[in-house]
Structure 1
Amino acid sequence: MIGALAATLAASSSLASWRDDHAILINTTRSLPNWAFWIDKHRRPARGDFVVFSAPQTPLITAHFGKVSPPFAKRVYGMPGDMVTREGSVVRINGTEVSRLKPVSSRGEPLEPGPTGRIPEHCYYVGTEHKDGLDSRYADIGFVCSARIIGTGDSLL
């Protein structure tokens, strides 16, 4: 009996520790081809990783996602120190095209271009290949810095 209680307490402690360091995210948008992500809350993002972050509360994000926006998941396209440039609607990182801007959202709202220049320390340019994706190419998301990052993800499904 005491052994079973000890095993239960140890398993409960391990599960609580795992829960504090990990999460599962279900993606409900069309901006990524994957719909389930395993999130590691302590892994530092690398180029190509999925990063999960809290979106800023802007009028556009509130209009599309409500007053309490769900977490966003995007791929890391640009790392700290990389150079983001824009020529017309084409956005490049270190000279390589990563996305194209649209003047208006799928609902017709005006979209402001996102930041250009050197990506600051502890910040990332995040994106998606989806033409209607709301990501760093637009000012409403901008660079995603570590204070907004929930974790780094791997797609499950």
Structure 2
Amino acid sequence: MAPATEISPQAQRWFAIGGLAWLLAATAWLSAWRDDHAILINTTESLPNWAFFIDKHRRPQRGDFVVFTPPVTPIITAHFGQKSAPFAKRVYGMPGDFVTREGNAVLINGAEVARLKPRTKRGEVLVPGPTGRIPEHCYYLGTAHSDGLDSRYADIGFVCRAHIIGTGDAIL
């Protein structure tokens, strides 16, 4: 058998310096990534996906997932707590689109996107959300789930840029 090769103290020092440099570079990269991105874990049934990769600087487009900070309302507090986790919904309506209602159907530019329910599963009254032209920098966000709490109700309404955390892609 060949004798084990010993690493000189000088080589050990260079390995340590290289490892430290790599660790610092990785930490800087991870910090920069964290400033522009996030991971969201969805714990509700309103979307079929449970994990989202969030880009904090990507402008939402129709069909994209948007993650936002929900307003504080009695219904949201009752269902999600005093400090609710961020919500994730799909962009159904863009700035300039027109939202109307026909009975319990919610339409965007004449196409049905959701149906209203009068009450939550717990019996709280649900007030219909806004209608009319979606303002600049705001979006109609929704879900196909019949129990989704989204822009069809006044508790969410149109979601504007100040409340948007980022645009997401479903990863799981």
Q: Which amino acid aligns with 2:136?
A: E
Residue of 65, 90, 94 corresponding to 2:109: 94
Q: Which consecutive unaligned segments of at least 5 residues does structure 2 have?
A: 1-13
Identity percentage of aligned residues: 76
Among candidates 132, 136, 155, match of residue 117 of structure 1 = 132
State the shift of 1:87 in Å: 1.2
Q: What is the TM-score normalised by the length of structure 2?
A: 0.89
d(CA) in 2 for partners of 1:40, 1:135: 21
Letter in 1 for 2:37: H
Q: Is 1:156 the equivalent of 2:171?
A: yes
- Tell me which amino acid in the other structure corresponds to 2:153: Y
1:97 partner SS: strand
Per-residue CA distance 1:78-109 (angstroms, 9 max, x = gap): 00000000111010000000001000011110
| AA matched with 2:35 | D
C-alpha distance after superposition, 1:26-58 (max 9, x if no partner)? 100000000010111111100000000000000
TM-score, scaled relative to structure 1 = 0.98
Unaligned runs of 5+ in 1: none
Structure 2 SS opposite 1:61: helix
Q: Does 1:5 align with 2:20?
A: yes
Equivalent position SS for 2:75: helix
The residue number in structure 1 matching 2:32 is 17
Whether 1:128 aligns to 2:143 is yes
Letter in 1 for 2:112: E
Match of 1:88, as an amino acid? G
Deviations 1:117-145 (A, max 9, x none): 00000000000000000000000000000
Aligned to 1:106, which of 105, 110, 121? 121
- In structure 2, which of residues 44, 48, 55 is the aligned counterpart of residue 33 of structure 1? 48
2:158 matched residue in structure 1: 143
Considering only aligned residues, what root-mean-square deviation do their CA atoms show, in Å?
0.8
2:10 matched residue in structure 1: none
Deviation at 1:5, TM superposition (A): 2.6
Tell me what 1:51 maps to.
66
Match of 1:109, SS state, is coil
Structure-1 separation of matches of 2:106 and 2:45: 21
Match of 1:78 in 2: 93
3-state SS of paired residue (1:86):
strand
